[in-house]
A and B are shown apart, each in its own frame.
Chain A
Amino acid sequence: MARSFRLYEKKRGNRRTGSKRFGSLGEALFFAVFFLLGCAGMVFLLATRLIPEWRVNHAFIETTCTVIATDGGKTRIAYHVSGEPVPRVATAGSTAIGEPDKAEGAGDFAQDGKYPCWYDPAYPQTVVLARGYTWWLWLTLSVPISLLLIGGGGLVYTVVSLGKSVERRAARVKRSGPRDSSEETEVAQPAFPHVPPAGRITDSPGTELAYRLPMAGSPAWTLGLWLTACLLWNGIVSLFAVVAVNSLWAGAPDWVLIVFLIPFLAIGIGLIVVFVRQLVLATAIGPTLLEISEQPLYPGRTCDLFLSQTGRLRIHWLEVLLACDEEATYRHGTNTRTENHRVYQQSVFRRERLEVQQGMAFTARFAAEVPPGAMHSFKSGHNEINWKFVVRGRVAGWPDFQRAFPVIVRPNGLGINKS
Chain B
Amino acid sequence: MSGPEDPSGWANPFSTRFTRPGGIPYRFPPGTSAELLVERLAESGWQGQILGAHGSGKSALVAALIPAIERAGRQVVLVELHDQQRRLPDDWLQRADPSRPAVVIVDGCEQLAPWNRSAMKRSCRRRGLGLLVTAHRSLGLPDLFRTSVDLALAQEIVRSLLGEQQSLIAPDEVKQCFERHQGNLREALFDLYDLYEERRPPGPAV
Contacts and interface: CB of A to CB of B under 8 A. Distances in A.
Given A335-B83, A335-B186, A336-B82, A330 B108 contact: no
Nearest to B58: A333
A416 to B, nearest CB: 15
A331 B134 CA distance: 16
A332 B20 contact: yes
B17 to A, nearest CB: 11
Interface string A311-343: 000000000000000000011111111010000
B192 to A, nearest CB: 14
Contact of B54 (A330, A331, A335): A335
B134 A333 contact: yes
Contacts of B81: 334
Interface in A349-387: none
B111 A334 contact: yes
A330 B20 CA distance: 10
A330 B15 CA distance: 11
A334 B82 contact: yes
B102 to A, nearest CB: 22
B83 A336 contact: yes
B49 interface: no
Contact of A333 (B16, B80, B190): B80
A331 to B, nearest CB: 5
A332 B23 CA distance: 13
A338 to B, nearest CB: 11
Contacts of B110: 334
Nearest to B197: A341
Nearest to B136: A334
Nearest to B59: A333
A335 B83 CA distance: 6
A337 B54 CA distance: 13
B21 interface: yes
A330 B16 contact: yes
A332 B54 contact: no
A337 B20 CA distance: 14
Contacts of A335: 54-55, 83, 186
Interface in B47-83: 54-55, 58-59, 80-83
Interface string B16-40: 1000110000000000000000000
A119 B82 CA distance: 69
A332 B21 contact: yes
Contacts of B54: 333-335
Interface in B75-121: 80-83, 107-108, 110-111
Of the candidates A330, A331, A334, A335, the one having the most CB atoms from chain B within 10 angstroms of its own CB is A334
A283 B142 CA distance: 59
A333 B55 CA distance: 9
Contact of B108 (A333, A337, A339): A333
B16 A334 contact: no
A320 B111 CA distance: 43
Contacts of A332: 20-21, 59, 80, 82, 186
A336 B85 CA distance: 11
A14 B59 CA distance: 34
B205 to A, nearest CB: 14
A45 to B, nearest CB: 41
A330 B17 CA distance: 11
Contacts of B190: 337, 339
A336 B59 CA distance: 14
A332 B111 CA distance: 13
A84 B20 CA distance: 94
A335 B85 CA distance: 11
Contact of B107 (A330, A333, A339): A333
A162 B2 CA distance: 59
Contacts of A331: 82-83
A332 B58 CA distance: 11
Contacts of A333: 21, 54, 58-59, 80, 82, 107-108, 134
A331 B107 CA distance: 12
A188 B11 CA distance: 37
Contacts of B107: 333
Contacts of A330: 16
A330 B193 CA distance: 14
Nearest to B186: A335
Nearest to A336: B83
A221 to B, nearest CB: 20
A137 to B, nearest CB: 43
Interface in A230-279: none
Nearest to B109: A334
A329 to B, nearest CB: 10
Nearest to A334: B108
Contacts of B134: 333
Contacts of B16: 330
B178 to A, nearest CB: 17
B150 to A, nearest CB: 20
Contacts of B111: 334
A150 B46 CA distance: 60
Contacts of A339: 190
20 contacts: A330-B16, A331-B82, A332-B20, A332-B59, A333-B21, A333-B54, A333-B58, A333-B59, A333-B80, A333-B107, A333-B134, A334-B54, A334-B81, A334-B108, A334-B110, A334-B111, A335-B54, A335-B55, A335-B186, A336-B82
The 10 A-B pairs at the shortest CB distance, nearest first, are namely A336-B83, A334-B108, A333-B108, A333-B59, A331-B82, A330-B16, A334-B83, A334-B111, A333-B107, A332-B59
Given A334-B81, A334-B108, A339-B190, 13 more contacts: A331-B82, A332-B186, A333-B58, A333-B59, A333-B80, A333-B82, A333-B107, A333-B134, A334-B54, A334-B83, A335-B54, A336-B82, A336-B83
